[in-house]
Chain A
Amino acid sequence: MAINKHTELRYKIWHYTYLTICGLVFFFLIAPLFVIVPLSFNAEQYIHFSDDMLALKPEAFSLRWYEDMVYGTKNPWGLAFKNSLVIGIFATIGATSLGTLAALGLSSKYMPYKALIMSILISPMVVPLIISGSALFFFLAKIGLSSSMLGIIISHIILGTPFVVITVTATLSSFDHSLTRAASSLGSSPLYTFFKVILPLITPGVISGALFAFVTSFDEVVVVLFLAGPDQTTVPIQMWTGLREQLSPTILSVATCLIAGSIIILVLMEILRRRSERLRGIQPR
Chain B
Amino acid sequence: MSKILTTEGLPLETSLKKVEQKNKFRAFLLVLPLLLFLIVAYVWPILNLLTRSVDNRLISDLLPQTAIALSNWEGNELPSEDIYKIFYLDLNEAHKQKLSGKVSTRLNYAKNGFKSLINKTRRKLKNFEDGNYKDQFIDLNKKWGDIEYWQAMKVAMPKYTIDKYLGSVDLEKNYSGEIIQKPEKRRIHRTLWYRTFYVALGVTICCLLLAYPIAHLLSTLPLRYSNLLLICVLLPFWTSLLVRTSSWMILLQQQGVLNDILVYFKIVGDKSRLELMYNMTGTFVAMTQILLPFMVLPLYSVMKTIPPSLMRAGSSLGGTPFHSFRKIYFPLTYPGIGAGSLLVFILAIGYYITPALVGGASGTLISNRIAYHMKETLDWSMASAMGTMLLVSVLVLYWLYNKILGIDNIKLG
Q: Give the residue among A135, A139, A244 with the most B Cβ atoms within 10 A.
A: A135
Asked if B350 lies at the interface with its beta carbon under 8 angstroms from chain A, I say yes
Query: In the bound complex, what is the Cα–Cα distance between A258 and B246 (angstroms)?
Result: 12
**A36-B246 CB under 8 A given contacts A111-B28, A135-B49, A243-B357:** yes
Interface residues of B in 11-52 (CB under 8 A from A): 20, 23-24, 26-35, 37-39, 41-46, 48-49, 52
Contact status A33-B352, CB under 8 Å: no
Q: Tell me which residues across on chain B come within 8 A of A69, comparing CB atoms.
A: none
Contact status B407-A122, CB under 8 Å: yes
Q: Closest residue to A15 on the B side, CB-wise?
A: B321
Asked if B300 lies at the interface with its beta carbon under 8 angstroms from chain A, I say no
Q: Tell me which residues across on chain A come within 8 A of B66, comparing CB atoms.
A: none
Contact status A28-B412, CB under 8 Å: no
Query: In the bound complex, what is the Cα–Cα distance between A131 and B245 (angstroms)?
Result: 21
Query: In the bound complex, what is the Cα–Cα distance between A244 and B356 (angstroms)?
Result: 9
Proximity string of chain B (97-122) to chain A, C-beta cutoff 8 Å, 1 when within and 0 when not: 00000000000000000000000000
Among B135-143, B159-167, B249-257, the one that faces the other chain is: B249-257
Q: Closest residue to A21 on the B side, CB-wise?
A: B213
Contact status A106-B20, CB under 8 Å: no
Interface residues of B in 384-407 (CB under 8 A from A): 384, 387, 390-391, 394-395, 398, 402, 407
Contact status B33-A119, CB under 8 Å: no
Contact status B34-A101, CB under 8 Å: yes
Interface residues of B in 356-393 (CB under 8 A from A): 357, 367, 370-371, 374, 380, 383-384, 387, 390-391
Contact status A259-B242, CB under 8 Å: no
Interface residues of A in 235-272 (CB under 8 A from B): 236, 239-240, 243-244, 247, 251-252, 255, 258-259, 262-263, 265-266, 269
Interface residues of B in 219-262 (CB under 8 A from A): 223, 229, 231-236, 238-251, 253, 255-257, 260
Which of B24, B239, B260, B390 is close to A33, meaning CB atoms less than 8 Å apart? B239
Q: Closest residue to B37 on the A side, CB-wise?
A: A98
- On chain A, the number of residues with a Cβ less than 8 Å from chain B's Cβ atoms is 90
**A1-B247 CB under 8 A given contacts A127-B46, A135-B46, A236-B242:** no
B158 to chain A, nearest CB (A): 22
Contact status B38-A161, CB under 8 Å: yes
Q: Tell me which residues across on chain B come within 8 A of A239, comparing CB atoms.
A: 240, 242-243, 246
Query: In the bound complex, what is the Cα–Cα distance between A30 and B210 (angstroms)?
Result: 14
B56 to chain A, nearest CB (A): 17
Query: In the bound complex, what is the Cα–Cα distance between A143 and B255 (angstroms)?
Result: 48
Interface size class of B (residues with CB under 8 A): 35 or more
Asked if A206 lies at the interface with its beta carbon under 8 angstroms from chain B, I say no
Contact status B250-A11, CB under 8 Å: no
Interface residues of A in 164-190 (CB under 8 A from B): 165-167, 169-170
Which of A108, A137, A240, A262 is close to B353, meaning CB atoms less than 8 Å apart? A240
Asked if B411 lies at the interface with its beta carbon under 8 angstroms from chain A, I say yes
Asked if A120 lies at the interface with its beta carbon under 8 angstroms from chain B, I say yes
Asked if B217 lies at the interface with its beta carbon under 8 angstroms from chain A, I say yes
Which of A25, A35, A123 is close to B250, meaning CB atoms less than 8 Å apart? A35
Contact status A265-B238, CB under 8 Å: yes
Q: Tell me which residues across on chain A come within 8 A of B293, comparing CB atoms.
A: 29
**Pairs across A and B, CB under 8 Å, 22 listed:** A25-B210, A29-B233, A30-B236, A33-B244, A36-B247, A102-B34, A118-B408, A126-B398, A127-B46, A130-B350, A130-B367, A131-B46, A131-B391, A134-B380, A135-B46, A138-B48, A219-B241, A236-B240, A239-B243, A243-B246, A247-B246, A252-B246
